């Protein structure tokens, strides 16, 4: 279940936001005072109303959005978007008129949560693919060095697997160990 932090001091607006979130079974907490970035880890989305008093609010929001740490919805009744203009195209940011909370907030929350989850999933897949590529490169290098020492490719592969199992380490770590031993023997 998604958890949302609502930051603002206008109690009527907070009540309207709470009603919209409750209608979608989304848990939320209200924050009136300043918040530390470390405290944000408990939340999946941050909704900030322009009534929230925080020094350098635009810098705080900008850092959250651009680091893709947490998606942010900024609510205001002011016409100008000012310092938030660079964030408008970012998938982790939504800028809403607080007069349209009833019509737009639920959709914005659902969309940002879904987008953030998809982006995290894509980043995780990319990280795993990079790790697999690193393992493949390390294993190929290790096999090449072992073959240069006179082993066949199946023997080199078996040695890597046996080293990993005997030492209870990953194949990547086994390659590092074997390459280190290979280096020591060649000196």
The tally of domains found in the chain comes to: 2
- Whole-number pLDDT of residue 79: 65
State the Cα–Cα distance between residues 88 and 102, nearest whole angstrom: 21
Q: How far is CA 98 from the centre of its chain?
A: 27
The share of the chain scoring above pLDDT 90, in percent, equals 29
> Is there a single domain that holds both residue 62 and residue 101?
yes
**What token pair was written down for 121?**
């999933």
Residue 182 clears pLDDT 70, i.e. is over it: no
User: Tokens 């280096």 — which residue?
Assistant: 183
Dump pLDDT digits (tens) for 3-23.
899 988 888 888 999 999 998
Q: Phi/psi at 24 (nearest 5 deg)?
A: -105, 15
> Is there a single domain that holds both residue 106 and residue 169?
no
The pTM of the full predicted model, rounded to 2 decimals, is: 0.71
> Is there a single domain that holds both residue 75 and residue 149?
no
> Residue 2 pairs with which residues in a beta bridge?
none
Domain residues for the domain of 167 are 128-186
Residue 74 clears pLDDT 80, i.e. is over it: yes
**Which of the pair, 63 or 34, is modelled with greater confidence?**
63
Kindly report which listed range (45-54, 79-88, 125-134, 135-144) carries the lowest average pLDDT score: 79-88
How large is the average pLDDT for residues 83-102?
85
- Give the model's confidence band at 86: pLDDT under 50 very low, under 70 low, under 90 confident, else very high: confident
Dump pLDDT digits (tens) for 28-40.
888 877 777 777 8
> Is there a single domain that holds both residue 107 and residue 164?
no
Q: Tell me, what CATH number does 39's domain have?
A: 3.40.50.2300
Residue 164 clears pLDDT 80, i.e. is over it: yes
Which residues in 79-114 are b (16+ Cβ under 10 Å) and which e? eeeeebeebeeeebbbebebeebeebbeebbeebbe
CB 64 within 8 A of CB 24: no
- Whole-number pLDDT of residue 57: 79
């Amino acid at each position: 279940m998604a958890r949302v932090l609502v930051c603002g001091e206008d109690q009527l607006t907070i009540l309207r936001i709470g009603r919209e979130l409750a209608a979608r079974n989304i848990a939320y907490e209200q924050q009136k005072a300043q918040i530390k970035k470390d405290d944000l880890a408990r939340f999946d989305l941050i909704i900030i109303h322009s009534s929230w008093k925080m020094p350098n609010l635009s810098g705080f929001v900008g850092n959250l959005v651009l680091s893709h740490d947490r998606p942010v919805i900024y609510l205001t009744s002011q016409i100008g978007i000012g310092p938030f203009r660079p964030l408008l195209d970012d998938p982790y940011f939504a800028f809403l008129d607080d007069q349209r909370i009833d019509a737009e907030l639920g959709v914005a929350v659902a969309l940002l949560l879904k987008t953030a989850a998809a982006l995290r999933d894509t980043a995780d897949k990319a990280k795993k693919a990079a790790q697999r590529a690193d393992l493949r490169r390390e294993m190929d290098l290790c096999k090449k060095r072992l073959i240069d020492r006179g082993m066949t490719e199946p023997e080199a592969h078996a040695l890597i697997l046996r080293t990993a199992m005997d030492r209870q380490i990953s194949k990547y770590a086994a390659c590092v160990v074997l390459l280190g031993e290979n280096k020591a023997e060649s000196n």
